[in-house]
Amino acid sequence: MTLDLIKDILLATVPLLIIFPTMFALTTWVERKALARIQNRIGPNKVGVPLTPYGGKLSLFGLGQPAADGIKMLFKENIVPTGADRLFHFLAPILSLIPSMLVLCFLPLDFPWLNGEQNSVKAFMLDGAVIFFFAITGLNTLAVFMAGWASRNKYSLLGGMRAIAQMVSYEIPLVLSAVVVVMIVGSLNADNIAKAQEGWNWFVFQPWGLAAFVIFFIGALAETNRSPFDLPEAESEIIAGYFTEYSGFKFALFFLGEYIAMFAISGLAVTLFLGAGAGPGVESLSWLKIFWFLTKVCILIGVMIWLRGTLPRLRVDQLMGFAWKFLLPLSILNIFVAGFAWHIKDANKETATSVVVWIASIIILYAAAKGLDRVNRAKVKPRTYQYGE
Amino acid sequence: MSVLGSGIFKGMAVTLKNFVGSYFDKERLTTNEYAWQANDKLPERAGDYPKEEAEQLSDTTTVTQYSRNFPMLLHDAGEPMDTVRCVACQICERECPPQCIYIEKSTEKKERSGNKAQFYPATFDIDVSVCMSCQICVEVCPFDAIVMNSQFELSTPSRFGELLLRRDDLLKSNDYYYKIHPEEASARDKRIADEKAAKEAKKKAAEAAKKKAAEAKSKSEAEAKAKEEAEAASKPTEPSDTPPAESTATPSTEPPATPTTEPEKEGSAE
Amino acid sequence: MNEVTAFWMLAAISVLGALIAVRKRNLVHGVFALLVFFVGLAGLFLLLLAEFIAVVQILVYAGAVGILILFAIMLTDRVTGRDAFRVTSRGSFWGALISLAVFLVILLPTIQDIPTIENPTPKETIVETSTVKQLGIHLIKPYIITIEILALLLTAALVGAVTAAQGGRASENEENNK
Ligand code: SF4
Ligand code: SF4
């Protein structure tokens, strides 16, 4: 009985604990490489895998870099500022990692081959998986604030405050865009949402789904402090933000937590809009589901890296204005559009109607977005430079 | 009317072009292979970085001439301390944002490269673990004595001490400067020569003018006095003419007050 | 590791969190202890298979309310956490008495409903499956008026707050402009 329970727990959690940290290590390398190439540099290309203790190594385009970074992080000195609150300074990195790790369990990833039989193992079978996801990622904010406050450094505190303001603001459009999917599927369960999109019925192919996906993706960028929303760690303004005073392993934990949160929220985006594990060949081979899921997550991460290499950082007021004056009204409108589209389709099942609804909702959403953009831009004047040019 | 978000996509296209291009277009990748490897001479241990000019050249000439790292002190041809340009005026020390320069002035003056006797730095330390390579010291130095080196191989096994570059580590010849930053060095030397020429020309002109001025002086002084007296005589009538306008004009009376002090300053400087 | 052990662990965590929140003189520490209490409570709800309440507990209390309190503290001069907040013991007796009374008033009806051997089922039947769907139907059907009134009230409060905040700001700006 207990042995079975332990076995089940291990079967459900260990794959997650292997897959995602491995992906983290590879992503740091891919990110550095990609950013370097975008800037016409080479990127890390030296560290390889040593073959013998006396030299000779397999270079593999610097693939050994994550391992080298990890070892370096582990052996670095742990510096705690004199004025810091030692307990909170110690707890913050751990607290930032826990929610990110925890929410991985809510993703519709089941590993059918692990326990031999066909019934799959999952860490959580919750009806409210989606809303649980948001509740628990919200706790990340507290860890960030804790780090900022405990460091007893103005830059850290500023970073922490920025992080709170940003995460609280962007959580609203994030949740509202997810509400659309929940509303259409009629369930908060991630597995049901995945089931509703089987085949090619991905929600991103619907106008409201596309709008919601874009809003969700922007919100996700802000929520995980990714560029162009990386104000809490804006190195040109506030050093490193909330983890200014962190070094060594604690810093590594923050880093890990941030990337795992990225994977988790990309996973949720894939679940909600990109058909979860749907893809060619899943009917015959069930493990392909996991493959497709992770592939889609990787593509989203790739887009995040690409955006990081492209966009400059926003200003604080622009950041707040964008969330409250653009994303929020648009996501509320999107809920209405989705509701109407769904009702009309429900009443009338002809293809012609659905095409008309499809086009009409695209036009409404685009016009609304454009109008909001206009309204928000009304006061923005072209920039004048005092010293430049 | 532009499509919403087209700016972002345009930017992404640019970065994509750079990303893909860097794999096919060798011209794009300007990065050199690591300098030590190029010379096939890896340091035995950390801290074996070269301090001598000749040795550093193998390092600094492998990077582009526009790169810069930490400051160095220039001296002209000859014994370093006999030709060092720095006069220990300590302007750079004061201007350096992170305060990483430490200078001690020599006690007596010394003549260098034909210039008139000046102080020289008895100590000149730059803590490169603090320096942020901002080049402000270079900008402010009135004697073109401090410029940026491009040496990058600086790792040391100790946390303190070895990253504190002493005066003798910092002293580099102008020839070396020419080798690592050819464009900048020739532009700088041309400017120095121009300034020198202009100064000499000015000196000559000033001497010539002095003679003239001496003659004209007695004349003009008399004239000025006459003018002043005339003005003083006319002035008292002005305020009584326009009493109501005075209150509105008060702010505008301030700016003219400052120019009157400036000529005085100039006069005293000369 | 059965439910009882889990219950006692969660209960201990919650009570400890609450006690620390009350006794701690450092305000920020107090808030985080309060958050521990909230999360412990969410765990207890989860143990009772009331998922949705648990998630709302985390979302609203640990997420929103906690951050609100932190923001409020940030606006005071206690940010540093150095100058400990002085808790006066005046009136603590009456406070304790009142909270005890409230506690008992809430507890008594619950105690009466505890199933015993003679009376094995609770008096009122609880909704058998407390899924989110059921909850949603309940909120929309029988309790719709209540929800709407609450929503209206909250919106009014929000608008009022914005007006109050803006009014002060606008007049200040005017003064500055002069
Ligand atoms: S380097 Fe230049 S600015 Fe600095 S002390 Fe020497 S002469 Fe003065
Ligand atoms: S480069 Fe900047 S930081 Fe470095 S010594 Fe010069 S002024 Fe100081």
E strand or H helix at A339, and its extent?
helix A328-347
Token reading at A142:
């507290």
Lowest mean pLDDT among A316-330, B21-35, B89-103, C87-101: B21-35
Q: Which residues contact C96 (CB under 8 A, 6 or more apart)?
A: none
Helix axes B6-24, A2-38, angle to 10 degrees: 80
Does the beta carbon of A139 lie under 8 angstroms from any beta carbon of chain C?
yes
Query: What integer best gives the mean pLDDT of chain B?
Result: 76
Q: What is the largest CA-CA distance in chain C?
A: 80
pLDDT digits (tens, 9 = 90+) for A5-20: 777 777 777 888 888 8
CA distance A270 to A279: 12
Which partners does chain A have (≥3 C-beta pairs < 8 Å)?
Answer: B, C
Looking at residue C157, what is its pLDDT? 93
Residue from B73, B84, B85, B87 to probe ligand 1 pocket by mutation (most atoms less than 8 Å from CB): B87
Q: Which is more confidently placed, B113 or B206?
A: B206
Minimum CA–CA partner of C2 in chain A:
A2
- Residue B66 to residue B181: CA distance in whole angstroms: 7
Closest CA to A18 of A310, A302, A290, A236: A290
How many Å lie between the alpha carbon of C59 and the closest alpha carbon of chain A? 4
**Could you say which of 3.20.20.80, 1.20.120.160, 3.40.50.1820, 1.20.120.1200 is the CATH number of the domain covering C1-82?**
1.20.120.1200
Best A90, A126, A140, A158 residue to mutate vs chain C (most C CBs within 10 Å): A126
Enclosing H/E stretch for A50: strand A49-52
Give residue-wise pLDDT tens across range A313-359.
Answer: 888 888 888 888 888 998 999 898 888 888 887 777 777 777 877 88
Percentage with pLDDT > 70 across chain B: 72
Ligand nearest to the CA of B132: 2
Q: What does the pLDDT average to over B216-235?
A: 68
Give the closest of C66, C131, C132 to A142, CB-based: C66
Mean pLDDT of the residues in chain A:
82
Q: How much of chain A, in percent, has pLDDT values that exceed 90?
A: 8
Across A121-149, b (16+ Cβ under 10 Å) vs e yields: bbbeebbbbbbbbbbbbbbbbbbbbbbbb
Asked whether residue C107 carries a pLDDT value surpassing 90, the answer given is no
pLDDT of residue B167: 86
CB contact under 8 A, A127 and C131: yes
Residues of A in contact with B8 (CB under 8 A): 310-311
Question: Which residue out of B10, B19, B63 would a mutagenesis test of the A interface target, given it has the greatest number of A Cβ atoms within 10 Å?
Answer: B19
Please name the residues in contact with A118: beta carbons below 8 A apart, sequence gap of 6 or more: A112
pLDDT mean over B103-121:
81
Residue A126 CA to residue A169 CA, distance in Å, equals: 27
Q: What pLDDT is stored for residue A301 in this prediction?
A: 93
Q: How confident is the model at residue A131 (pLDDT cuts 50, 70, 90)?
A: confident
How much is the pLDDT for A279? 76
* Secondary structure string (H, E, C) spanning B66-106: CCCCCEEEEECCCCHHHHECCCCCCHHHHHCCCCCEEEEEC
Contact at CB, C62 and A138, closer than 8 angstroms:
yes
The answer to whether the CB atoms of B4 and A311 lie below 8 A apart is no
The domains of chain C are located at 1-82, 129-178
Most confident segment among A293-297, B41-45, B53-57, C25-29: A293-297
Tell me the shortest Cα–Cα distance from A8 to chain C, in angstroms.
15
Chain A residues inside the 8 Å CB shell of C84: none
The percent of residues in chain A predicted with pLDDT above 70, rounded, is 93
CATH class of the domain at B67-204+228-260: alpha beta
C142 vs B115, higher pLDDT: C142
pLDDT digits (tens, 9 = 90+) for B4-13: 778 888 889 9
CA distance C55 to A132: 6
Does A have 3 or more CB contacts under 8 Å with C?
yes
Which residues, including other chains, have CB under 8 Å from residue B20's CB and lie 6 or more apart? none
pTM, whole model, 2 decimals?
0.72
Give A246: exposed, middle or buried? Use CB within 10 Å, 0-12, 13-18, 19+.
buried
- So what's the pLDDT on residue B44? 56
pLDDT at B160 over 80: no
Q: B68 versus B53: which is more confidently predicted?
A: B68
Q: For A28-32, A98-102, B114-118, C57-61, which range has the lowest pLDDT when averaged over its residues? A: B114-118
pLDDT band at B256 (very low <50, low <70, confident <90, very high): very low
Task: Report the 3 state secondary structure along chain B.
Answer: CCCCCHHHHHHHHHHHHHHHHHHHCCCCCCCCCCHHHHCCCCCCCCCCCCCCHHHHHHHHCCCCCCCCCCEEEEECCCCHHHHECCCCCCHHHHHCCCCCEEEEECCCCECCCCCCCECCEEEEEEECCCCCCCCHHHHHCCCCCEEECCCCCCCCCCCCCCCEECHHHHEEEHHHHHHHCHHHHHHHHHHHHHHHHHHHHHHHHHHHHHHHHHHHHHHHHHHHHHHHHHHHHHCCHHHHHCCCHHHHHHHHHHHHHHHHHHHHHHHHHC
Q: Select the residue of A40, A46, A310 nearest B28 (Cβ to Cβ).
A: A40
Both structure tokens of A18? 């292997």
On whether any CB of chain A is under 8 Å from the CB of C169, the answer is no
pLDDT of residue A216: 92
pLDDT in tens, A218-243: 999 998 888 888 888 877 778 888 88
- The reply to whether ligand 2 has any atom less than 6 angstroms from the CB of B37 is no
Please check whether residue C7 touches A, CB under 8 A: no
A285-305 as b/e, with b when 16 or more CB fall inside 10 Å?
Answer: eeebbbebbbebbbebbeebb
A36-76 pLDDT, tens per residue? 888 888 888 777 777 766 666 676 777 888 888 888 888 88
Residue that has been written with the tokens 């402000």 in this structure = B136
User: Which protein residues touch ligand 1 with a CB less than 6 Å away?
Assistant: B 86-92, 103, 141, 143, 145-146
Search chain C and give the residue with CA nearest A187.
C133
Q: Which of A60-69, A96-105, A323-332, B131-140 has the lowest mean pLDDT?
A: A60-69
Q: What are the residues whose beta carbons fall under 8 Å from the beta carbon of B33, sequence distance 6 or more?
A: none
What residues does each domain of chain B span? 67-204+228-260
Instruction: Give A94→chain B minimum CA distance, Å.
Output: 30
